[in-house]
Structure 1
């Protein structure tokens, strides 16, 4: 990888280097590209149950690409806990892959480094055109008004998963459609060893995803039109308090969930310790833990019963993975051929079916693999009521600072502290001051 645009990348990366990888979601430490037009280096994010699982899923597709083009692909599956750091290091050093996966919530932050190839009209045409992609997924590829520097690869959305047997035993016939109904149902289902809802209270990305959705429903944007942070507005305080109150005031979340950060809430749901779960495409994980699709239902994430002024009908962030090209690759044509291949209808159907995600390529969705109850709900959510996370360069900081503030609030609640509006505002004000500082 040639070392160009390093100074521009470093200016933005300096703001981001203190962050942890908080996206939506390895190999050698060398991994740089070279000037051989018959080779590419590809950093794939860990989408499956393990690094080995990803390699098993991806290898057949990469071999098919090599057969079609003659280009060998050096694959490296990067764990989520190191992916952002690896990418940021590559943007400043210039020593990175030709093609890479990024969490789509990082799109604007990484776009601002100048290290990724912009997809202008001509570049989009080289991969089949921008109109092939679902508009909501394409909206999570960079700042509005700029050429995106990534394109969608795997799409996800949040759904409300509910245990059919526990609902039936409690005489509950329908999943809740509003948060008020969810609390009422959760209280009915909270009994002894079972709680109404499971959350990941110590997970920064899970926290901030819900902060965004509740914020949209309350009319909070977290950034103003000039890109300045607005973390502690009354709307933001109300939004985050409502979410934390599932544990703090409503008592439908187990206090131990305040320490969850490694998908333990999925396990609690799968084992009957929780009757409901808010998650992105949980089906594969649930089946790996012994549940069948007949054991659980999937419904849209609830809305407010009485939306406040300015509230939006949003019930999911646009979740997923984008694929990007380093601008200073020595094999730009081969890299774009690879992006075209990975976003082709055939490859999209194969990979998204393996991972239990939704193809962001519209034509690829027209397949029976994506017509299950779960994926139908998530697909409709993605198309109709999902919105991208803030597309600003400071988005990654927002994730870390607000997600951490929420983790602290959950810890306080689990410790018996009352979570007041002032307590929420103080945490958010501190996060905003840290951003501004």
Structure 2
């Protein structure tokens, strides 16, 4: 199914989407017809260093699927800054692809539109069963108590990547384990035109991922127990200020990073311009940008002083990952289910997660020795012991837009030399909360 409407912004009101998204679906919610049984349209997220790399990775797999089933898959790889807006436009118009990738944090938001196929027992049975998947990955596929809106495809968590050569040259023996150590070590590394830590101040999703973890470490969340926005409480204000202060006060992030968008911090790290970066499953991108195995080390994301990675206040990652969804009004429900089964099969899970440096959310695929590397061991242990899912609430995608933009504005202030104070942080978060509730 081809998308025909122009992309809208991620700030589209979800209540409007829910009222308009369900055209074409069958009455029982099991999907549409099979009027185009030999063709599918697939929107893939940009997982590699660029779109061309993803096309090169996916093309032979889609050809393999076509040879096995006779179904041709039309692929479009969509950059992350555009993906949510494209999906929201498609849900509003009913003009979307058959199958698509979504950030797992968006699952509940997109579920609330009614535009995605619910993964009930029958649909899970069609792809081999729900129990094939890791429980934490299923937990980030939709609202609690409802059938999932998507199935897990790639699992990831955040880690601290550090440049071993830059650490040796600075006489630093190990990566920082706490935020106090991050600042101390970072100030030793930030000299001679080089900087300690990379950031992407204009990457709204990355901003959310970082401040969500810090809010957990401050004992808070951005939503209350009833699922209502609670952006501007003292602890969330402190968390956001701590992150922006790495540029504004501690001066271990380059001011130019305030304008950085997706993957620019990875490029600086690979080029030796920054010594550390907080990222999810970055090894493949580093190699693409010219680094060699052994050039970087991997450690857990720092936690507050006096603690070690764990749940609660020592959470150090969100449960990251990519889910795969089917549009409810697809013209080819049987083909869509067959494609999801193929992509989440043991063989493809091993192949694709190796290619992207991610972790298979399918249990049987994790036994491959390729997923026991130093990098992936840190990521797997983080996922199992110290990661927390972003709130699975209908407003989550709006949260990423509004609070991610607030952090972006605060980074812009820091880069311009304007004061970043408790009051200015609270004001930005209050504005974001008002936008959510208006």
Seen in structure 2, the aligned counterparts of structure 1 residues 77 and 255 have a Cα distance that, compared at 3 Å, is closer
Contact (CA 8 Å) 1:231, 1:431: kept in 2 or not?
Answer: yes
* Structure 2 match to 1:421: 422
**Larger mean Cα displacement after TM superposition, 249-258 or 207-216:** 249-258
**Larger mean Cα displacement after TM superposition, 35-44 or 154-163:** 35-44
* Structure 2 match to 1:211: 211
* Structure 2 match to 1:403: 404
Q: SS of 1:312's equivalent?
A: helix
Partner Cα distance (1:94, 1:265) in 2: 36
The structural deviation recorded for 1:111 is 0.2
The structural deviation recorded for 1:141 is 0.7
Supply the RMSD in Å over aligned alpha carbons. Answer: 2.3
Segments ≥4 residues shifted beyond 6 Å: none
Partner Cα distance (2:327, 2:153) in 1: 16
* Structure 2 match to 1:178: 178
Partner Cα distance (2:370, 2:412) in 1: 40
* Structure 1 match to 2:87: 87
* Structure 2 match to 1:193: 193
Partner Cα distance (1:49, 1:288) in 2: 7
Seen in structure 2, the aligned counterparts of structure 1 residues 371 and 113 have a Cα distance that, compared at 3 Å, is same
Partner Cα distance (1:389, 1:106) in 2: 9
* Structure 2 match to 1:356: 357
* Structure 2 match to 1:54: 54
Contact (CA 8 Å) 2:200, 2:261: kept in 1 or not?
Answer: yes
Partner Cα distance (1:13, 1:350) in 2: 39
The structural deviation recorded for 1:408 is 1.1
Seen in structure 2, the aligned counterparts of structure 1 residues 265 and 41 have a Cα distance that, compared at 3 Å, is closer
TM-score for the superposition, normalised by structure 2:
0.89
* Structure 2 residues without counterparts, runs of 5 or longer: 3-11, 19-31
Seen in structure 2, the aligned counterparts of structure 1 residues 252 and 205 have a Cα distance that, compared at 3 Å, is same
Partner Cα distance (1:326, 1:246) in 2: 41
Partner Cα distance (1:48, 1:272) in 2: 20
Contact (CA 8 Å) 1:200, 1:258: kept in 2 or not?
Answer: yes
**Larger mean Cα displacement after TM superposition, 205-214 or 60-69:** 60-69
The structural deviation recorded for 1:13 is 6.0
Seen in structure 2, the aligned counterparts of structure 1 residues 257 and 77 have a Cα distance that, compared at 3 Å, is closer
- Please give the per-residue CA displacement for 1:232-263, whole angstroms capped at 9, x wherever unaligned: 01110111111111111111112222222242
Partner Cα distance (1:228, 1:306) in 2: 32
Contact (CA 8 Å) 1:160, 1:300: kept in 2 or not?
Answer: yes
Partner Cα distance (2:108, 2:36) in 1: 30
Count of residues in correspondence between the two structures: 414
TM-score for the superposition, normalised by structure 1:
0.89
Contact (CA 8 Å) 2:49, 2:263: kept in 1 or not?
Answer: no
Seen in structure 2, the aligned counterparts of structure 1 residues 411 and 85 have a Cα distance that, compared at 3 Å, is closer
The structural deviation recorded for 1:68 is 2.4
Seen in structure 2, the aligned counterparts of structure 1 residues 49 and 168 have a Cα distance that, compared at 3 Å, is closer
* Structure 2 match to 1:25: none
The structural deviation recorded for 1:333 is 2.2
Q: 2:14 aligns with which of 9, 12, 29?
A: 12
Contact (CA 8 Å) 1:222, 1:229: kept in 2 or not?
Answer: yes
Q: SS of 2:291's equivalent?
A: coil
